[in-house]
C-alpha cells in the first residue's frame, strides 16, 4: 500500500475552508489531519470535503477551541478519541487506515496544549497541563509498545520544537514556551517510549533549520523568519524505511488569510518494509 498523509494546524477550519480546498486540490494527500478546527462536530463543514472526493471524515471537535479532524479519500475507521489529561478538551483522534487489509495501520492525530506564557509549572497552570499531557502520552505510548509492535503514525501540532535548528534562535528561545529544556526532555521521553522515528528529520538533516509555524505578528514572516517547528510526523520502527518523501508546504503561509502553521506532507510505501 502507498499513501500520502498531511498534517496542518488550520486555526479554524470554517474561516479557512477555501485554503483547505486549495491545499487538497493542489497536493492531493490521501489523508489530511487537521488541528484547531475550532468547531463542534455538528458545525464541521463536511460538504466541501465530500464534494472533492474526501468521503471519510472522523471528528473530535469542540465549540470555539481546539478540536481535531482526520479526513481521507481512502477508507478509514475510527479507533478512539482519547482525553489524555482528563481536561475534557478535544485534542486527539485515532483512525485505522485501510481497515481489513493486511497492511492496515493506525494514525494518531494530536493537538498538544500550547502551555501559556510562563514556563513554570507552579506559576502557570497551562504549562503544568502541557507537561501533564506529554507525560500521559508517554505512558500511553510506552504501554502500547509492550503489547503492540504494529504500524503506528503519530502526527500533529505537538507544540514543542525540540532541536536547536527547530527554532530561529536556540539561545533566545531557551526560556520561551515550546523550546524550554523541560519540554524538550518530555518530548524526548515520549519519543523514546516507543522508539518513534522523526520522519521530518529523517528527510531534512538536523543541521538545517526547519520551521512549520511563524507568528502572525511579524510584518514580513519570510524576511524576519522567526519560525519554529511545532508540527511533527512520527512513525514506529515497524514502518522504518517506508517514508519515501517529505514536503514542508511553505507557500501556504503566503496564501490569503493564512493559518500561522503550514502543512507538512509525507508519502509512505509499505512495500518498502
Partner DNA sequence: ATGGCTTACAAAGTAAGA
Residues engaged in binding DNA (CB under 7 A): 9, 11-12, 14-15, 36, 38-39, 63-65, 113-117, 126, 157, 159, 168, 176-178, 213-219, 224, 226-228, 230, 257, 260-261
Q: First CA to last CA across the chain, in angstroms?
A: 11
* Calpha distance 72→58 (Å, rounded): 9
Kindly state the smallest distance separating residue 102's Cβ from DNA, in Å.
37
Instruction: Answer whether 215's CB lies under 8 Å from 221's CB.
Output: yes
Kindly state the smallest distance separating residue 47's Cβ from DNA, in Å.
17
Instruction: Answer whether 216's CB lies under 8 Å from 260's CB.
Output: yes
Instruction: Answer whether 31's CB lies under 8 Å from 3's CB.
Output: yes
Q: Which is nearer to DNA, 12 or 104 (CB)?
A: 12
* Calpha distance 135→81 (Å, rounded): 17
Kindly state the smallest distance separating residue 170's Cβ from DNA, in Å.
12
* Calpha distance 239→137 (Å, rounded): 20
Kindly state the smallest distance separating residue 11's Cβ from DNA, in Å.
6
* Calpha distance 221→253 (Å, rounded): 9
- Given CA atoms 162, 269, 7, 57 in this order, what sign does their dihedral have? negative
Number of Cβ within a 10 Å radius of residue 266: 25
* Calpha distance 32→264 (Å, rounded): 10
Kindly state the smallest distance separating residue 227's Cβ from DNA, in Å.
7
Instruction: Answer whether 235's CB lies under 8 Å from 197's CB.
Output: yes
Q: Which is nearer to DNA, 172 or 245 (CB)?
A: 172
Q: Which is nearer to DNA, 207 or 256 (CB)?
A: 256
Kindly state the smallest distance separating residue 214's Cβ from DNA, in Å.
7
Amino acid at each position: 500500500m502507498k499513501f500520502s498523509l498531511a498534517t496542518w494546524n488550520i486555526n479554524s477550519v470554517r474561516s479557512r475552508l477555501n485554503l483547505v480546498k486549495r491545499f487538497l486540490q493542489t497536493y492531493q494527500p490521501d489523508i489530511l489531519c487537521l488541528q484547531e478546527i475550532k468547531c463542534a462536530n455538528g458545525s464541521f463543514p463536511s460538504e466541501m470535503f465530500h464534494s472533492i472526493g474526501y468521503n471519510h471524515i472522523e471528528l473530535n471537535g469542540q465549540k470555539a477551541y481546539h478540536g481535531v479532524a482526520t479526513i481521507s479519500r481512502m477508507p478509514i475507521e475510527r479507533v478512539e478519541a482519547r482525553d489524555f489529561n482528563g481536561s475534557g478538551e478535544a485534542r486527539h483522534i485515532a483512525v485505522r487506515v485501510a481497515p481489513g487489509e493486511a497492511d492496515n495501520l493506525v494514525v494518531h492525530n494530536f493537538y498538544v496544549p500550547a502551555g501559556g506564557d510562563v514556563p513554570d509549572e507552579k506559576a502557570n497552570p497551562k504549562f503544568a497541563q502541557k507537561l501533564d499531557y506529554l507525560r500521559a502520552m508517554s505512558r500511553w505510548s510506552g504501554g502500547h509498545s509492550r503489547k503492540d509492535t504494529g504500524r503506528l503514525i503519530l502526527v500533529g501540532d505537538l507544540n514543542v520544537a525540540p532541536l536547536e535548528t527547530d527554532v530561529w534562535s536556540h539561545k533566545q528561545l531557551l526560556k520561551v514556551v515550546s523550546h524550554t529544556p523541560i519540554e524538550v526532555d518530555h518530548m524526548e521521553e515520549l519519543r523514546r517510549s516507543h522508539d518513534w522515528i522523526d520522519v521530518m528529520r529523517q528527510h531534512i538533516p538536523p543541521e538545517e533549520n526547519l520551521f512549520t509555524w511563524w507568528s502572525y505578528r511579524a510584518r514580513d514572516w519570510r524576511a524576519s523568519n522567526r519560525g519554529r517547528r511545532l508540527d511533527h510526523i512520527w512513525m514506529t520502527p515497524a514502518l522504518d524505511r517506508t517514508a519515501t518523501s517529505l514536503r514542508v508546504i511553505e507557500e501556504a503561509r503566503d496564501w490569503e488569510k493564512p493559518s500561522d502553521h503550514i502543512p507538512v506532507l509525507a508519502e509512505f510505501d509499505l512495500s518498502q518494509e
